[in-house]
Structure 1
Amino acid sequence: MTVRVGVLGYRFMGKAHANAMARLPMFFPDAPDVERHVLVGRDEDALADAADRLGFENTATDWRDVVEEVDAFYNLGPNHVHVEPSVAALKAGTPVLCEKPLANDLDGAERMADAAEDAGVPTATAFNYRFVPAIRYAKNLIEDGALGEIRHFRGRYLQDWLADPEAPWSWRNSAEMAGSGALGDLGAHTIDLARFLVGDVERVSGHLRTFVDERPVEGDEDGAERGEIETRPVTVDDAYSAQAELEGGTMATFEASRFSTGHKNDHTIEIQGSEGSLKFSLERLNELEVLRKGNRGYETILVTEADDPYVEHWWPPGHVLGWEHTFVHENYEFLSAVDGAASETGRGGGETADGSGDYHPNFEDGLAVQRVLSAIQESDERGEWVEVA
């Protein structure tokens, strides 16, 4: 079958996923046929231009007209728009891929996970870093026992795009629209990798900080001429840190900031075990540093060999992959699960492309991360450790 995809949102993430769908037939010949069927947005002129650039056949200004006519619905809107369209699509029996964090609060995430369970169709929370070949390589090392008993997990995600106090306000600065700031935007990725690589988060002690309380509104030319620039309040965190305990007693620390001058997209993971350790940075995403028992130092592994995860689909060894390729891998797995579910039962069931069963990270994974985000916020407010529900 041809999987007809409807996408809500056409900016940053819309481009990333449209590009991924376009690459699939070139590099993943066993991927299902995919039709970029309809692009959804509010501005008709901008929408028409985006649909032409991104290869969509149709446009719509209301997601309600779309969720029942497509085979998969991608919700790439701001966090506060995640719940209603996703729940409606699931009630129509349509598989859903939703950007992270799953919602802007725990109640919304629970509604989405409940709807997914009732629908019984594939869902995806867009934690694309699970699909970095080096992260999959690390996962295999840990599962094979190469690191022994895991004792420490350290994850930080540092950016600097808001370090300038004159950087304009956006929806990401609003608690009503985003839920949280660096915590949900960046920390969600780190928490998901901790769960993926090591285990569930059991309790946390968190600290959140906002450095700039208000920001100028972009495009206020009249105000600029009068010397009266309009500003809006920043109601989310600019940075967070947290101590955590993972299942099995593993000690963990999490950190993220959008004020870390000199860091553009630095997502760093370190894991130490009784038999070895590993280190990874997203800014060098083809490399994994591994310390094995008996060695005096780390070796740097270039994860580009044909037998490394996903790499057989791309280039010869040493011809490195990039950030955009993680979306290709993510779309390959999710759309293969959608196709498999449709082939078996019409809608429901199915397996991922590698035969591993239900697709992950799904809405249950997204909800698990949302519970940790909520617990970190609660811990900051109460000033004490909080158990993750």
Structure 2
Amino acid sequence: MPGETIGVGFIGYGWIARAHAHALHTLNHIRPLARRVRLVSIAGRSANLVEPVARELGFERWTTRWEDVVIDKEVDVLANLAANEVHAPASIAALELRKPVLCEKPLGLDAAESYRMLVCARRTGVTSACGFNYRYVPAVRIMRDLAAAGALGELRHYRGVYLQDWMAAERPSQRLDRGGAVLDYSHIVDLLRHLAGEPLSVSAYVTSFASEAEDAYAAALRLPGNAVGTLEASRFATGWKGRQRIELNGSEGSAWWDMEDPNRLHVFFVKDEREGLGGFRDVIATQPEHPFAHQWWAPGHVLGWQESFVHQWRDFLTAVLENRAVDPRQASFEDGYEAAVVCDAILLSAREGRRVEIHETRAEGRNRENGGTT
């Protein structure tokens, strides 16, 4: 990747593109990388819509064909932020040209498609990542570190809730991609794996209120060590604009976090209660020793949702410049595939009305069984 800049191309021009563009502009001004980021080209379905977005976000050019961005010789890195059905073809095309890809979640439309993307990433050896940005919230990172260090003891429960109401209000400007509540809110599936380990089985109920895809679901999962996980998501939870709550309960303590108060982690330790200091304590994740704090302001000056994208892009582009895989704490294509396996198991359980073992929806070997290759 010669030159003094990194040329980035976007596929997709919706609101999430603004978050990614904001992150990349921020990287150029706050602790910049060894090479400045350059926004080269952006693709969108509508010329009337993508042109003003390109100007607003600072892209040099725009197109209505995602293929133009992929083959652009000045695009070194692809941000695939398009509709879900474009994730696989565009990402695979870029990887085949040995261009690193950061693909928004969900990785593919299902486990089989996600697995094809993973196989391509493995074969080409090109840096790739899946856009599970909540791994990059400082409070969530602290939560993971506490669990990994055993500070919460033996895991007993994981709870993941994601509630919004954007489908309850009539918003015709918001296009529905292929997918539904299970795929759209797969962040809580990824965080389950990230914080609590690989689920073993699931029993789920899915329902629809006003669309062809699932609008809400609830699932109970068996986790390692006889722990239990619960997932709940809805696009019709009136009053909730972005309620995402993650909770871990262990034998020695608990921790929970809510996206609507992103800097605050609530932590409880059993040993404190034994010493007469029971109850949850609040940790404001802005201290110098906290994750990512050194990149920002003085202690006590809070960060927002958008900074998680800055952290994500910094780590991803650092891996690109060093020509290596992303850090294990960042979501790779493998993590995107594993999340898709769980999502498929949730849908299969709801469809067939039974408990599903997670391994039932794995895609490895399926192509060979059908006479193809993996």
Q: Is 1:126 the counterpart of 2:131 in the alignment? A: yes
Matched with 1:226 is none
Choose 366-375 or 109-118, whichever is displaced more. 109-118
Deviations 1:96-129 (A, max 9, x none): 1111111222222121111111111111110000
Contact 1:123 1:359 (C-alpha < 8 Å) held by counterparts: no
Residues 120 and 75 from structure 1, CA distance in 2 versus in 1: closer, same or farther, beyond 3 angstroms? same
Matched with 1:269 is 246
Give 1:98-109 correspondences, 5 Å limit. Answer: 98-109=103-114
Q: Is 1:383 the counterpart of 2:365 in the alignment? A: no
Distance (whole Å) between structure 1 residues aligned to residue 356 and residue 132 of structure 2: 24
Q: Residue type matched to 1:204 in 2?
A: V
Distance (whole Å) between structure 2 residues aligned to residue 243 and residue 170 of structure 1: 30
Matched with 1:229 is none
Task: Determine helix, strand or coil for the equivalent of 2:191.
Answer: helix
Give 1:193-204 correspondences, 5 Å limit. Answer: 193-204=191-202
Matched with 2:303 is 321
Task: Determine helix, strand or coil for the equivalent of 2:116.
Answer: helix
Q: Is 1:310 the counterpart of 2:287 in the alignment? A: no
Distance (whole Å) between structure 2 residues aligned to residue 383 and residue 97 of structure 1: 35
Q: How far apart are residue 359 of structure 1 and its match?
A: 7.3
Output the aligned Cα RMSD: 1.6
Q: How far apart are residue 170 of structure 1 and its match?
A: 4.7
Out of 204, 207, 211, the residue aligned to residue 206 of structure 1 is 204
Distance (whole Å) between structure 2 residues aligned to residue 102 and residue 41 of structure 1: 19
Distance (whole Å) between structure 2 residues aligned to residue 279 and residue 131 of structure 1: 16
Q: Residue type matched to 2:192 in 1?
A: A
Task: Determine helix, strand or coil for the equivalent of 1:283.
Answer: coil
Distance (whole Å) between structure 2 residues aligned to residue 168 and residue 46 of structure 1: 16
Residues 124 and 351 from structure 1, CA distance in 2 versus in 1: closer, same or farther, beyond 3 angstroms? closer
Q: Residue type matched to 1:301 in 2?
A: V
Give 1:1-389 correspondences, 5 Å limit. Answer: 1-30=4-33, 32-68=35-71, 69=73, 70-164=75-169, 166-168=170-172, 170-172=174-176, 177-179=177-179, 181-186=180-185, 188-212=186-210, 234-295=211-272, 296-341=278-323, 350=324, 352=326, 356=327, 360-389=330-359
Contact 1:6 1:72 (C-alpha < 8 Å) held by counterparts: yes
Choose 62-71 or 189-198, whichever is displaced more. 62-71
Residues 104 and 170 from structure 1, CA distance in 2 versus in 1: closer, same or farther, beyond 3 angstroms? farther
Deviations 1:321-357 (A, max 9, x none): 111111111111111111111xxxxxxxx255xxx5x
Deviations 1:152-190 (A, max 9, x none): 1011011111223x4438542xxxx423x111111x100
Q: Please, what TM-score do these two structures have when normalized by structure 1?
A: 0.86
Deviations 1:54-73 (A, max 9, x none): 01112223222222422111
Distance (whole Å) between structure 1 residues aligned to residue 35 and residue 208 of structure 2: 45
Distance (whole Å) between structure 2 residues aligned to residue 84 and residue 10 of structure 1: 18
Contact 2:127 2:325 (C-alpha < 8 Å) held by counterparts: no
Distance (whole Å) between structure 2 residues aligned to residue 31 and residue 326 of structure 1: 20
Task: Determine helix, strand or coil for the equivalent of 1:184.
Answer: helix
Task: Determine helix, strand or coil for the equivalent of 2:151.
Answer: coil
Q: How far apart are residue 367 of structure 1 and its match?
A: 0.5
Distance (whole Å) between structure 1 residues aligned to residue 152 and residue 329 of structure 2: 27
Q: How far apart are residue 151 of structure 1 and its match?
A: 1.1
Q: Residue type matched to 2:242 in 1?
A: N
Distance (whole Å) between structure 2 residues aligned to residue 153 and residue 169 of structure 1: 35
Identity %: 42
Distance (whole Å) between structure 1 residues aligned to residue 51 and residue 307 of structure 2: 26
Q: How far apart are residue 47 of structure 1 and its match?
A: 2.2
Distance (whole Å) between structure 2 residues aligned to residue 250 and residue 128 of structure 1: 26
Flag structure 2 segments of 5+ consecutive residues without an equivalent.
273-277, 360-374
Q: Please, what TM-score do these two structures have when normalized by structure 2?
A: 0.89
Distance (whole Å) between structure 1 residues aligned to residue 173 and residue 339 of structure 2: 26
Task: Determine helix, strand or coil for the equivalent of 1:278.
Answer: strand
Q: Residue type matched to 1:340 in 2?
A: E
Q: Residue type matched to 2:358 in 1?
A: V
Q: How far apart are residue 313 of structure 1 and its match?
A: 1.2
Residues 364 and 351 from structure 1, CA distance in 2 versus in 1: closer, same or farther, beyond 3 angstroms? closer
